Amino acid sequence: MPITANNPNRKSWLEIEPNSDFPIQNIPFGVFLTKENIVTVGTRLGDFAIDLGALQQLGYFEGIELTDDVFLQDTLNDFISDGKKTWRLVRNRIADIFDAENPTLRDNKKHKDVVIFNMKDVEMQLPVYIGDYTDFYSSKEHATNVGKMFRDPENALLPNWLHIPVGYHGRSSTIVPSGIPVHRPMGQTMPADATAPVFGPSRLVDFELETAFITTDANIMGENIPINEAEEYIFGMVLLNDWSARDIQKWEYVPLGPFLAKNFASSISPWIVTMDALEPFRCAQPKQEPTPLPYLQQKGDHAFDINLQVAITPENGEETVVCDSNMKYMYWTMSQQLAHHTINGCRINSGDMMGSGTISGPTEDSFGSMLELTWGGKNPLKMKDGSERKFINDGDTVTMRGFCKNESVRIGFGEVSSKLLPPIPTK
Amino acid sequence: MPITANNPNRKSWLEIEPNSDFPIQNIPFGVFLTKENIVTVGTRLGDFAIDLGALQQLGYFEGIELTDDVFLQDTLNDFISDGKKTWRLVRNRIADIFDAENPTLRDNKKHKDVVIFNMKDVEMQLPVYIGDYTDFYSSKEHATNVGKMFRDPENALLPNWLHIPVGYHGRSSTIVPSGIPVHRPMGQTMPADATAPVFGPSRLVDFELETAFITTDANIMGENIPINEAEEYIFGMVLLNDWSARDIQKWEYVPLGPFLAKNFASSISPWIVTMDALEPFRCAQPKQEPTPLPYLQQKGDHAFDINLQVAITPENGEETVVCDSNMKYMYWTMSQQLAHHTINGCRINSGDMMGSGTISGPTEDSFGSMLELTWGGKNPLKMKDGSERKFINDGDTVTMRGFCKNESVRIGFGEVSSKLLPPIPTK
């Protein structure tokens, strides 16, 4: 079935800024709350939020097999369960409905009044209920930087890294959408010169620039997803700020991995950009040497050319861009990650989220964390207001943006933006 | 409010074997499926499953504030959200209903016919929807054994171990109830004499003897649960077999912890035994030296004297008990685990599960995994049928049991029993 929604020549009858992340070729999916306290599944065109539940009730999805309440929900999980064919039919249909040449909704003021909202009048929610959250560690540049700093500069990559898309489980209960502030965590750390650990606020709160993909139901327990089918089960992507407390992490993470250093908060952008919308930006992944085991081998292009950016805005201050990276630098592809995750029979459900791990590029300004950008705090970053940052200060807002662009279209993610607040006093 | 359900002198009008895990002083909570395909929340008395949804509809919980459908559900999450006061009221009421002296249900055949099922006529389900699953590593004996085998026999415990209840996130999607078979996982391993990793079935599938506790909603994101309140938020406990593939684990776990070595399956016993029922078996935890940081300090007894046992039954063979341990050996208490888990503001939801980590005792026959029992395969265990085991064979059934016993009452968990099947062929 062709992805007619991707037609680069199509224009919408809705007014959309030329440089918007959300042209009619994007059509992401999300969940929003209206001023009338109604939660609904929606899409976004320019600065308009579109109520898909209302569209369906008005008959605009006729002919597509959908349950009556699939959009009248507070998560996308049921819709995602419907599978790739349905996602494509719905997205193609939405493009038709808002096509400049299609008068049906365009000329129906009554319908438009209940379907179209201004983005400033809605509040974005988490788009999915995330049953399980996995975070990978798939940027070679990031793993190398961390290895150089904390282990052996001569043998920065651990022996398994080039053979396995290394990953670990994260915490679902503290994944929040863009806009929700995050509190600096309290915790136990071992200062360099101390003989016993101390308790207090983390002194080294960091962001991690990541993307994440959202899956559909893919297998029963015990079955694997072969790598050549993996992309069929990926619904779309979001931006992910995997907040990290480096001092807590350093003291706790051996031998079972990061725990409290990560699970105080993970922030995501609220619109899931579909893999269909990203299809024009597919590109070659980095060459993998040594060749991975057969269950991780794939032909063709499986990386995506997604520009990524991180900015820090001090309290009442001006924004400073601190990192420009790109998702295409990732060594392991999303299909390799999903094939690996299920090779042991691990069950994947609709709404599960899998993070890329920090995406660092090859140059110093493309490193995806303050840890790397300041090289462990040794080289503080200069902010536009003259202040310096080794890590994130209370009152700072961290904003991540992502977009793809070619000669004819720009497909963006919007942003994930969250402010770091001081700790809540310990009870 | 007194826990009248714990009255050791109470007898039930239902016939219960004297040595049953489920006397009228237990009253655990679970979810079962009847032959009529009805799923309901229930309790167990002896070999009878009691339909709490039916009991409520018949008015037996009158006077207790409960939503109409709290038991007509396929999980206990809503009931657990109601909080400790409600749990206690309901459990006390159930004890009254089945008290030998109470004729109300006893003498109402019509009611009994819809409320009481034979255990052999129902199928146990997962008792809760588990949003997040955390596994701790809280047995000093286990951590020491593992450290001796894999790291430095002279410095078996890592520097953080005596200061932190070390834990990590597990996978919720593959937690299954007792009775569901588990497939040997396929995966990537690095044989000792190899220069490159190989792919195939794990050769070292192991059990881990654990208990786990189930929480209620406890905090908002950013807030901690102080250690002195932690027990208020623990609903009850189950037995947990944290299936592990040692060869996969060895190759993958540095630096981010175990992943595919664990997430192919975790099996739990289906009845949640409440903390109220376990109260008579509270006992002193091991002395903690050095004294932990203040947020982990507590007064009084917070361990529980729960006998634990593991048996292996070969295909069509006879059972051999391979381990006798006890939960009281755990160095870190459940309240310390929960206080630590939330000290950074990590949100805890109703139905979250937290495993103890392998519970090994001080003697060789009390080690809680084959890894330790055979000391990495060096000392195979003799089975009753004459065969030997270094790890678990295809066709073996691993059964874990747990019970508490004093002069007047026995409170048990029943069992978690699951058969290891060969791998499903890789697609």
Structure tokens belonging to residue B246: 């040692």
Whether the Cβ atoms of residue A205 and residue B345 lie closer than 8 Å to each other: no
Closest CA to A65 of A47, A41, A50, A85: A85
Handedness of CA A114, A120, A122, A127 (dihedral sign): positive
Neighbours of A316 (CB within 10 A): 7
Sign of CA dihedral A156, A162, A168, A174: positive
Query: Could you tell me the two tokens for B11?
Result: 């007898």
> Cα angle at B133 between B130 and B137, to 5 degrees?
150
**Neighbour count for residue B311 (Cβ, 10 Å):** 17
114-173 in chain B: CB under 8 A from chain A: 131-132, 137, 158-160, 163-164, 166-173
pLDDT above 90: residue B418: yes
Q: Is A179 on the interface with B (CB under 8 A)?
A: no
- Alpha-carbon distance B164 to A287, whole Å? 41
The pLDDT > 70 percentage for chain B reads 100
Interface of B with A in 385-414 (CB under 8 A): none
Q: What is the mean pLDDT of residues A291-305?
A: 98
CA distance B220 to A95: 40
Inter-chain Cβ pairs, chain A and chain B, closer than 8 A: 221
| Subunit contact B264:A345, Cβ cutoff 8 A | yes
Encode pLDDT of A60-103 as tens digits. 999 999 999 999 999 999 999 999 999 999 999 999 999 999 99
Residue B275 in tokens: 């903390």
Tell me the residue length of chain A: 427
Average pLDDT estimate for B397-423 = 98
pLDDT tens-digit map of B164-193:
999 999 999 999 999 999 999 999 999 999
* Contact B107/A at CB under 8 A: no
The verdict on a CB contact (< 8 Å) between A221 and B183 is: yes
Does the structure show a pLDDT above 90 at B325?
Answer: yes
> What would the pLDDT profile of A226-251 be if each residue is shown by its tens digit?
999 999 999 999 999 999 999 999 99
Q: What residue ranges in A71-166 does DSSP mark as E strands? A: 116-118, 123-124, 133-136
Predicted confidence at residue B403, as pLDDT, reads 98
Across the strands, what pairs with B29? B272
Residue A14 above 90 pLDDT?
A: yes
Residue A417, pLDDT > 90, answer yes
Question: Between B132, B169, B173, which is nearest A347 by CB?
Answer: B173
Domains of chain B, earliest start first: 4-125 (2.30.30.230), 133-421 (3.90.850.10)
What percent of chain A has pLDDT above 90? Answer: 99
Map tokens 């090289």 to a residue. Answer: A375
What is the pLDDT at residue A151?
85
Are residues A424 and B183, on separate chains, in Cβ contact within 8 Å? Answer: no
Q: CB B291: neighbour CB atoms within 10 A? A: 12
In one-letter notation, the amino acid at residue A131 is G
Residue-by-residue DSSP string for B179-198 = T--EEPPEEEE--TT-SS-E
Q: Which residues of chain A does B223 touch, with a Cβ-Cβ cutoff of 8 Å?
A: 424, 427
CA distances from A324 to A253, A368, B80, B369 (A): 28, 8, 46, 48
d(CA B395, CA B316): 9
- Contact state of A345 with B185 under an 8 Å Cβ cutoff: yes
**Burial of residue B415, with CB atoms counted within 10 A of its CB: 0-12 exposed, 13-18 middle, 19 or more buried:** buried
Identify the pLDDT of residue B151: 85
Amino acid residing at B56: Q
Residue B267, pLDDT score:
98
| Cβ contacts of A379 within 8 Å, gap of 6 or more | none
Q: CA A250, A255, A258, A261: dihedral to nearest 10 degrees?
A: -40
List the one residue out of B182, B200, B178 whose CA is nearest residue B191: B200
> If you ran DSSP here, which 8-state letter would residue B80 be given?
H
pLDDT for A150 equals 85
Q: Per-residue pLDDT for A178 more than 90?
A: yes
Task: For residue A199, give the nearest of B159, B190, B293 by CB distance.
Answer: B293
Buried b (16+ CB within 10 A) or exposed e, A74-87: ebbbbbbebebebb
| Contacting residues of A for B424, CB less than 8 Å apart | 222-224, 345
Q: Indicate which residue of B142, B302, B340, B341 is catalytic.
A: B142
Question: What's the pLDDT at A144?
Answer: 96
Partnered with residue B211 across adjacent β-strands are: B239
Q: Which pLDDT score is estimated for B68?
A: 96
> What pLDDT was estimated at residue B378?
96
The count of residues in chain B is 427
Residue % of chain A over a pLDDT of 70? 100
CA distance A21 to chain B (A): 31
B91 is in an annotated binding site: no
State how far Cα A342 lies from the chain centre: 21
- Cα B350 to Cα B73: distance, rounded to the nearest angstrom: 15
- Residues in chain B within 8 Å Cβ distance of A427: 223-226, 229
Q: How far is CA B77 from CA A22, B80, B215, B243, in A?
A: 39, 5, 9, 25
Amino acid in position A362: P
Query: What pLDDT band is residue A164 in, cutting at 50, 70 and 90?
Result: very high
Q: Is B206 annotated as a binding residue?
A: no
Inter-chain contact A256–B257, Cβ cutoff 8 Å? yes
Task: Look at A347 and B186 and tell me if their CB atoms are within 8 Å.
Answer: no
Token pair of B131 as six digits: 């949003």
Cβ within 8 Å of residue A177, ≥6 positions away: A124, A125, A126, A127, A267, A268, A269, A270, A416
Confirm if A160 and B251 have CB atoms less than 8 A apart: yes
Question: 3-class DSSP state for residue A249?
Answer: helix
Mean pLDDT of chain B: 97
Instruction: Say whether pLDDT at B11 is over 90.
Output: yes
Interface of B with A in 193-252 (CB under 8 A): 196-199, 202, 221-226, 229, 245, 248, 251-252
Per-residue pLDDT tens digits for B207-217: 999 999 999 99
- The closest of A346, A3, A349 to A167, measured between CA atoms, is A346
Distance from CA of A24 to the nearest CA of B (A): 36
Asked if omega into B201 is within 30° of 0 (cis), the reply is: no
**What is d(CA B29, CA B36) in angstroms, rounded to the nearest whole number?**
20
Q: Which of B257, B272, B240 is nearest to B359 (CA)?
A: B240
Q: Report how far residue A421's alpha carbon sits from residue A392's, in angstroms, rounded to the nearest whole number.
A: 10
Q: Which amino acid is at A46?
A: G
Per-residue tokens: A363? 């140059």
| pLDDT category of residue B317 using cuts at 50, 70 and 90 | very high
Nearest CA in chain A to B221: A174
Distances (CA, A) of B233 to B16, B349, B416: 31, 10, 24
Consult the annotation and say whether B233 binds a ligand: no
How far apart are the CA of A69 and the nearest CA of chain B, in angstroms? 21
pLDDT band at residue A305 under the 50/70/90 scheme: very high
pLDDT tens digit sequence for A358-390: 999 999 999 999 999 999 999 999 999 999 999
Contact A128, A80 (CB under 8 A): yes
Inter-residue contact B267 to B60 (CB < 8 Å):
no
Chain segment B222-236, per-residue pLDDT in tens? 999 999 999 999 999
| Strand bridging mode B244-245 / B205-206 | antiparallel
From the list A173, A182, A259, the residue facing B349 with the nearest CB is A173
Q: How far is B425 from chain A (nearest CA, A)?
A: 8
Contact B187, B426 (CB under 8 A): no
pLDDT digits (tens, 9 = 90+) for B41-68: 999 999 999 999 999 999 999 999 999 9
Reading the block at residue B252, the tokens are 């993958």
Which tens digit of pLDDT belongs to each residue from A31-58?
Answer: 999 999 999 999 999 999 999 999 999 9
State the sign of the Cα–Cα–Cα–Cα dihedral A264, A270, A276, A280: negative
C-alpha dihedral over A336, A337, A342, A347, to 10 degrees? -140
Cβ-contact B178, B197 below 8 angstroms: no
> What is the predicted ipTM?
0.97
